[in-house]
Structure 1
Amino acid sequence: MKTILAALIATAILAPAANAADRNGAYDVASLQSSTAKTGWLQVLSDGKPAKTKAVQKDISTSPIPRELIAFSENAAPGTIIVDNSDRRLYHVLGNGLAMRYGVSVGRSGFIWTGSNTVSRKAEWPTWNPPQQMRVREARKGHILPVTMKGGINNPLGARAVYLGATIYRIHGTNQPSSIGKAMSSGCIRMANEDVEHLYANVTIGTKVIVRD
């Protein structure tokens, strides 16, 4: 009887732990979130504001604004990417009156821009090379940026990057999805990692990109 009772108690103790570990890798995500919260580079790219953390966050790759397939009547060639700064959305024109719409983060005050260009390069888990002017600017604020940083979960460029011509601007992922739908970047267009992976798979070199007010 004592043996059976001991087994039941052990099962009751271990089961919740096993279930918790199975919930979308909650333990791993919490660990990753803890490490990214300590990374000053994320705060720098959000105008120096500390990244807010929560006790539990299931997925640091999911956008708070779900992507949607929508009716799209604007006159733009299929494949065109249109970034709308005012409503902080990116439209990937599919043709036949349809487009995929994603939530994005755009440049904060003083860093927002408009224009058109083409996709010149694509990279998975890209290396981050902060421009010299950014390093100088942030050094004045006491933020010392790395000259280069290899791709990975702590890298501000996230899982994918789509480079725009010969400019310093990119459409890239982020491990700070709370910035989506806001004007928080240094000029690049941020997307949640799941969304940038989705867009990346459907975009080719030479694709036209329009950034507008």
Structure 2
Amino acid sequence: MRSWNEANGYPLADWTAVNTAARKAVPNPLATAIVPKVAKSWVDGSLPTSKALQAKRKRMTYRSIAEFMAERYHTDVEYLILLNGKKKVYSLKLQDTLVVPNVKPFTIETLTGAIYKLDEALSQRHVVVDTKKNQARFYEAAPVALIIDESEGEDAKPKAKGPNRGLIASFPITPGQPKFIHYGKWAVRNTVEFPSWRYDKSLLKTGKRSADSQTLEIPPGPNSPVGVLWCGLTKSGIGLHGTSDPETIGRARSAGCIRLANWDAVRLPTLIRPGTTVEIR
């Protein structure tokens, strides 16, 4: 809400304008969806919780159709239960109907494992990761990457005159634990769909890597701890990425990276590319 107000020149804490715009853009907040046949390829109820056993799998799938549909429509299973009832949600089958949030679905089946390269326009953009507000803000370029001084009060307006059109997107994020956050300016090094993930217990606990013989290679998929997309930075081992637990975004801490919900993470290649500056504050 605050980012939308900044981009459009309204007081930061004003809900009136954003609610009016939202109701106009999406008159009906709920919709009816059909469980697609493709869900069969992405759900495996036997997916283990043990990292050692996960490393033997080919894909980190969803564990249920309910989880598949929840992420597809940008929510969690608990909210689907609120809308549809526990019995229906836990007994979902292919081609069943379900009430869901009226959003553009996250279609995991369209991802191909692409590797994204430099882009003349997108590589010039600037990202500000605010670890206190749990937001990642995307700007056209550094000169307009202004952070508002919220100490001036809830009715503060953007420093720029009028709307800040340089602010093009904002996503909720989960930053790393304070002791592992790497503040400063970095650049995007690589961006890839369906990354595998190296499980390193020492790195997660202490921030220091252990020998390769003590790590496990976790396969790609929506339930990978790094989600369906990895956007690595020039700071080794640190990046913006998806998550296996979208309900924790903005509410928990990660080991050191910047986590987004998978449905937001997949949008990163349309906004930034290798070369983009990422400023962690």
CA distance in 2: counterparts of 1:148 and 1:192, whole angstroms: 22
SS in 2 for 1:184: coil
1:39 corresponds to 2:49: yes
1:155 corresponds to 2:224: yes
- Root-mean-square deviation (CA, aligned residues, Å) is 3.8
Is the 1:163–1:170 Cα contact (8 Å) retained in structure 2?
Answer: yes
How is 1:108-123 mapped onto 2 (pairs within 5 angstroms)? Answer: 108-123=177-192
SS in 2 for 1:60: helix
1:107 alignment counterpart: 176
Provide TM-score, normalisation by structure 1: 0.62
* Residue segments in structure 2 that go unaligned for 5+ positions in a row: 1-31, 52-62, 76-122, 142-164, 208-213
1:179 is displaced (CA, Å) by: 1.4
Query: Are the structure 2 counterparts of residues 150 and 114 from structure 1 closer, same or farther at C-alpha, using a change threshold of 3 Å?
Result: same
1:61 is displaced (CA, Å) by: 5.5
1:89 corresponds to 2:89: no
Larger Rg: 1
1:22 alignment counterpart: 34
1:174 corresponds to 2:243: yes
CA distance in 2: counterparts of 1:112 and 1:105, whole angstroms: 11
1:60 corresponds to 2:71: yes
1:153 is displaced (CA, Å) by: 2.6
Number of residue pairs aligned between Structure 1 and Structure 2: 164
1:191 corresponds to 2:260: yes
1:24 is displaced (CA, Å) by: 6.1
Q: Which amino acid aligns with 1:59?
A: A
* Residue segments in structure 1 that go unaligned for 5+ positions in a row: 1-19, 42-52, 65-76, 139-144
2:277 alignment counterpart: 208
CA distance in 2: counterparts of 1:55 and 1:124, whole angstroms: 22
SS in 2 for 1:90: strand
What percentage of residue pairs aligned between the two structures are identical?
25
2:126 alignment counterpart: 80
SS in 2 for 1:206: coil
CA distance in 2: counterparts of 1:54 and 1:148, whole angstroms: 23
1:146 is displaced (CA, Å) by: 4.7
Provide TM-score, normalisation by structure 2: 0.48
Could you give the per-residue CA deviations for residues 116-150 of structure 1, whole angstroms, max 9, x where no partner exists? 10011111111112347327869xxxxxx852122
SS in 2 for 1:155: coil
1:211 is displaced (CA, Å) by: 0.4
1:30 is displaced (CA, Å) by: 10
